[in-house]
Structure 1
Amino acid sequence: MSYVAYVFRSYFGVTAEEAERLMLQVHNTGRAVVATGNREAMERHVEAMHGYGLWATLARADS
């Protein structure tokens, strides 16, 4: 779990508190929205998470 928080801090640049909150959300519910943006940027984020050994997907946000 500390590794996931580390990845969120180092890659996304979130605070330690935000990284911990997101990590706990993933741990407890199986998912968290870590980033939003255009499709190309989100695909790069997904690839980066896979590079860190984490499972990540992208989904269209509900309008």
Structure 2
Amino acid sequence: MAQRDEAELGSATRLSPEGEVAVLRSPAPRWHVVVWDDPVNLMTYVEFVFRRHFGYGADHARQLMLRVHNEGKTIVFTGSRERVEADVQAMHQFGLQATMQRAEQ
């Protein structure tokens, strides 16, 4: 199993039958960056933003852009809450409409 940073792990405590306290670690909730279609930005610009900000290759960025255009929205990234908040803010700075959504476990 790959190591995860402490920020990526949630924790809970549980009392064992012997009276010992055990700390249980579970993955922290994941979040999605959702980009929405808008009538303002050109498709080539949206593709450029995905390549520039997320570092996606041309084909992947184009597929995501087409999903935004054809379906009205798409998930472009999934990660920790802090990272997703920063990415949503970055999308806003690029002029794109974006929100964050909690991923289903």
TM-score by length of 1: 0.96
**Residue 31 of structure 1: how far off its partner (Å):** 1.1
**5 Å matches for 1:1-63?**
1-63=43-105
Unaligned runs of 5+ in 1: none
Cα distance in structure 2, aligned partners of 1:32 and 1:10: 17
Displacement over 4 Å in runs of 4+: none
Identity over the aligned pairs, expressed in percent?
Answer: 52
**Residue 30 of structure 1: how far off its partner (Å):** 1.1
Structure number having the greater strand percentage:
2
Cα distance in structure 2, aligned partners of 1:16 and 1:8: 9
Unaligned runs of 5+ in 2: 1-42
Structure number having the greater helix percentage:
1
Greater Rg over alpha carbons, structure: 2
SS at match of 1:34: strand
Higher relative contact order (CA 8 A, sep 6+): 2
Total equivalences in the alignment: 63
